[in-house]
Structure 1
Amino acid sequence: MPVAGLPEPQHQDQAGALSLDSGPRGAGARERERRILRKRNNRTEMDDFNRQVRELLGWRRTVHGSAATPSLHDRFERIQITGDVLRYQGNSGDVGCYVVAQPLPKHNNYFEVLITDSGVRGSIAVGVVPYDYNLSQQPGWLSCSAAYHADDGKLYTGRGVGQQVADKCQTGDRIGCGSREDRAGQELQEIASLFFTRNGKEIGTVVVPLPLESLHPAVGMHSIGEQVQIDLQAEWAWADEDSLMVVDNHEDDWARLHDMKVSGPVLEYAGKGKSIMDVGLAQAKLPLSTRSHYFEVEIVNPGEKCYIAVGVARKDYPKQRHPGWNKGSVAYHADDGKIFSGSGVGHPFGPRCYKGDIMGCGIMFPRDFHLDSEGECDTDGKERFQQSKSKVRQPRGAVLYCTDSEEDEDDDGEGCGESHRQSQKVVVFFSRNGKIIGKKESWIPQGGFYPTIGMLSSEERVKVDFRPLSG
């Protein structure tokens, strides 16, 4: 309590500043204190304002960046994805569809799909669709989409009716899709001109009313067991289309093709498959020799009956007879696991073969055996036999030289009209999945034994490798 006649004592106000007396000097001090407080408050408010502005600008940049470059993901339904392998996971009542997040690139706007398993119906579609495409529909069925369908060989462009452009596809076939903008050097803004390929050959073109950057690679499936491998980095060689088709064709490897179709290393039966006279036969251009004495065949599709025969035969072997049925031939048959050597009656030899099995056939040449020019033919198509003591490498641990002296009762009289003095005995051996399962001693005809493959039921397909030892 102030005392009468004395100045009031100093004290602190709410702002923490000292209150001075009311004299002239006290009024000046209070004014200075007020100015300091105002500056301090203004600086604090400005700092808060600047902080809020910075936060707002940062939020705006985040929102703008998200809208400009949305984070897209691959879209799929009823599809199991393992790396680059896609597998149908539905119940065959519903379509499974996979849409790649990124559209077809402008600089390598081509991709391919390898059918590793055609499943029950082979209802596989390969093409392009918008990113928000209805995943319950096959590519090509809805507007602004296009696709090639493997089950019927048709191109579909935005409707349920397709245009026939090629044969249907099976396991082992490759389907490709790309755009022509880069080749023409012009980028159309409103439409995309697309082309489709099958096993390295162009089969058809379509136009989609969308720019290229709006079209995404897509794969559709619709039956149990369907599986494909997608290659988004595949390339289409515009300048070398002709040479590419020659390399993929592999027809130069074959001397004779009867009721057989060649697609790269794959052989497909193209006969009627109604009787034993409907054999499809493929015979290599060159015989087995000490330099190339072994080949393999992988069963890609066993077809209806798996009537697939793998072996060797003389050059003039009848085209409508399975390898092994006639003289001058030895073959291992996949359907019953028997070996046939110049007779229509086979003998138990090894296990039956199924899809995915690899059947191999080779010759164990005598130590003093040598083909002139190591398998190169003379102008008359025959080869001269010469004696030589040179050695060659061994296949997968198998004995290359024949040391067995046992006689083959089925070979008596065999030689295709050739005198035994004009030929020699060799041992033909067979393997299954890399393991030798048996051998057969046989007279080799003049001109040599040629790799020969026979088929006899629809949809049979095999993949041939003439040099599995050397890669």
Structure 2
Amino acid sequence: MEDINLHYRFLNWRRRIREIREVRAVRYQERYKRMLKNGDTLSYQGNSDEVGCYVAPRPLSKGNCYFEVTILDTGVRGTIAVGLVPQFYKLDHQPGWLPHSIAYHADDGKLYNGNAVGQQFGPKCNRGDRIGCGIYAQTFDAALVTVFFTKNGKEVGSVVVPVTRDGLFPAIGMHSLGEEVRLDLQAEWGSEEEDSVMMVDSHEDEWARLYDVKVSGTLLEYVGKGKSIMDVGLAQARQPLTTRSHYFEVEIVDPGEKCYIALGLARRDYPKNRHPGWSRGSVAYHADDGKIFHGSGVGDQFGPRCFEGDIMGCGIMFPRDYMLDFEDEIDDWDAVDVRPKQGRVENLLYLNDEDEEEGEDPEQEHEGRKVMVFFTRNGKIIGRREVVVPDGGFYPTIGMLSTGEKVKVDLHPLSG
């Protein structure tokens, strides 16, 4: 009799464990509506009249208190929301619209805190931007937690909100055709290594324009879709080349799928969806085919193709008497010590004009000063091209166009 009782107790125990597992499986299950999920990519699948929403399977916790979303495509309206919601949030509402939810909306930069009417909070976000959301770990044990939002790794602002019993779950909302994001639920943010954070910020400040390009220290990574020639990722430096800083280099860390990497110079208002060299006011050396493009979508054979590990360089050979419009605002040009690093291109600041290439100038109808732009591969000059300097100067510009491409940039390889 005792054996029978033990047998029934064992069966009841197994049944209860199975039920607990089933409950946990249901509890920790991601939910989404009017969205297509492919790996870590979410894309809107509605008709722009209805909201699509995704809710992560687990709430934020002390051990995992932050997540990020990279905007791959803003679609028609860019109505992308990133925030936190209760576990069983209604999937036909944007995060932040309903009670106990909060979200930062990319299209208007507003914060929605349990209300369909938002408050001005931060900057708008576009393709290539990273929106982050987290909870300060030290507030988890309180009835109220402090939720903060970031844009491209920098904090935008924070707000104190009440916590639901089951916690707050990462959520993404979309509301127009073509919207697409990449979700990283294991992202990290903080100041554990202040020096590292300062390094990333300082290098990020060197870039005036970033489209579909992610900056991490000196590393640039293409984060665009890479499906058509309109998906160019562009990075343009904040400062133009001058007689003081006349050369820069790019090392190919990862060629990606196609190695559609271009290095060159472009005018300040260069189109964001055009590879360097394709449009007026630009010249560039393309790694995939070794061609030079000078204000035209048709390139000329110029040098060897470049691969992983190769270092591509671009600079200007300024004439001795050359003076930029803004140079007189800077004192003591000659006091700058310019020494090439070992294994890098020698200082070509002033060279003779002999052996210059006679090239067709697509900008010859525009009056302007001409300079000789040169390109290098692994420290050796592969060719030159005479070009007209656009108003405002030539800005170091890098283009990428296929998935997985990464380059390491040195905007000042000849200094120090």
The answer to whether structure 1 residue 283 and structure 2 residue 240 are counterparts is: yes
Equivalent residues in 2 for 1:66-465, closer than 5 Å: 66=22, 71-180=27-136, 182-183=137-138, 187-188=141-142, 190-211=143-164, 213-238=166-191, 244=197, 247-248=200-201, 250=203, 253=206, 265=215, 282-283=239-240, 287-289=245-247, 292-293=248-249, 311=265, 334-335=278-279, 349-351=296-298, 362-363=313-314, 380-381=332-333, 392=344, 405-407=356-358, 426-428=372-374, 441-442=385-386, 451-452=395-396
Kindly provide the CA deviation profile for residues 294-313 of structure 1, in whole angstroms up to 9, marking residues without a partner as x. 699xxxxxxxxxxxx96268
Query: Where does residue 224 of structure 2 map in the other structure?
Result: none
Between 1 and 2, higher relative CO (CA 8 Å, sep ≥ 6) is seen in 2
* 1:84 and 1:230 in contact (8 A); partners too: yes
* 1:362 and 1:430 in contact (8 A); partners too: yes
Please state how far the C-alpha of 1:112 moved relative to its aligned partner: 0.9
Kindly provide the CA deviation profile for residues 21-62 of structure 1, in whole angstroms up to 9, marking residues without a partner as x. xxxxxxxxxxxxxxxxxxxxxxxx665555344433433454
Please state how far the C-alpha of 1:441 moved relative to its aligned partner: 2.6
The 3-state SS of whatever aligns with 1:202 is strand
Query: Where does residue 231 of structure 2 map in the other structure?
Result: none
Equivalent residues in 2 for 1:43-54, closer than 5 Å: 48=4, 50-54=6-10
Could you say which structure has the higher helix fraction? 1
* Residues 416, 385 of structure 1: alpha-carbon distance in 2 compared, 3 angstrom cutoff: farther
Between the aligned partners of 1:52 and 1:385, the Cα distance in structure 2 is 87
Between the aligned partners of 1:212 and 1:204, the Cα distance in structure 2 is 25
Instruction: Give the number of aligned pairs.
Output: 322
Query: Where does residue 20 of structure 1 map in the other structure?
Result: none
Equivalent residue letter for 1:237? G
Question: Percent identical across equivalent pairs?
Answer: 39
Structure 1: stretches of 5+ with no match in the other structure: 1-44, 267-279, 297-308, 314-318, 324-330, 341-345, 353-359, 367-377, 394-401, 418-424, 432-437, 455-462
TM-score calculated relative to the size of structure 2: 0.60
Cα RMSD after superposing both structures: 5.2
* Residues 217, 403 of structure 1: alpha-carbon distance in 2 compared, 3 angstrom cutoff: farther
Between the aligned partners of 1:387 and 1:247, the Cα distance in structure 2 is 25
The 3-state SS of whatever aligns with 1:230 is strand
* Residues 49, 220 of structure 1: alpha-carbon distance in 2 compared, 3 angstrom cutoff: same
Please state how far the C-alpha of 1:69 moved relative to its aligned partner: 7.5
* 1:363 and 1:426 in contact (8 A); partners too: no
* 2:66 and 2:189 in contact (8 A); partners too: yes
* Residues 159, 124 of structure 1: alpha-carbon distance in 2 compared, 3 angstrom cutoff: same
* 2:51 and 2:94 in contact (8 A); partners too: yes
* Residues 64, 98 of structure 1: alpha-carbon distance in 2 compared, 3 angstrom cutoff: closer
Between the aligned partners of 2:93 and 2:369, the Cα distance in structure 1 is 60
Structure 2: stretches of 5+ with no match in the other structure: 221-236, 253-262, 285-292, 300-310, 318-329, 346-352, 399-405
Between the aligned partners of 1:148 and 1:251, the Cα distance in structure 2 is 23
Kindly provide the CA deviation profile for residues 41-92 of structure 1, in whole angstroms up to 9, marking residues without a partner as x. xxxx665555344433433454456557755211011111121111111121
Larger deviation, residues 378-387 vs 241-250:
378-387
Between the aligned partners of 2:149 and 2:245, the Cα distance in structure 1 is 38
Kindly provide the CA deviation profile for residues 161-195 of structure 1, in whole angstroms up to 9, marking residues without a partner as x. 11111121100111111112x245x611x332211
TM-score calculated relative to the size of structure 1: 0.54
Equivalent residue letter for 1:220? G
Between the aligned partners of 1:234 and 1:61, the Cα distance in structure 2 is 33
Structure number with larger C-alpha Rg? 1
Between the aligned partners of 1:146 and 1:322, the Cα distance in structure 2 is 37
* 1:127 and 1:147 in contact (8 A); partners too: yes
* Residues 222, 441 of structure 1: alpha-carbon distance in 2 compared, 3 angstrom cutoff: same
Between the aligned partners of 1:333 and 1:208, the Cα distance in structure 2 is 50
* 1:310 and 1:361 in contact (8 A); partners too: no
Kindly provide the CA deviation profile for residues 384-404 of structure 1, in whole angstroms up to 9, marking residues without a partner as x. 99999x9757xxxxxxxx996
Between the aligned partners of 1:312 and 1:264, the Cα distance in structure 2 is 20
Between the aligned partners of 2:57 and 2:155, the Cα distance in structure 1 is 26
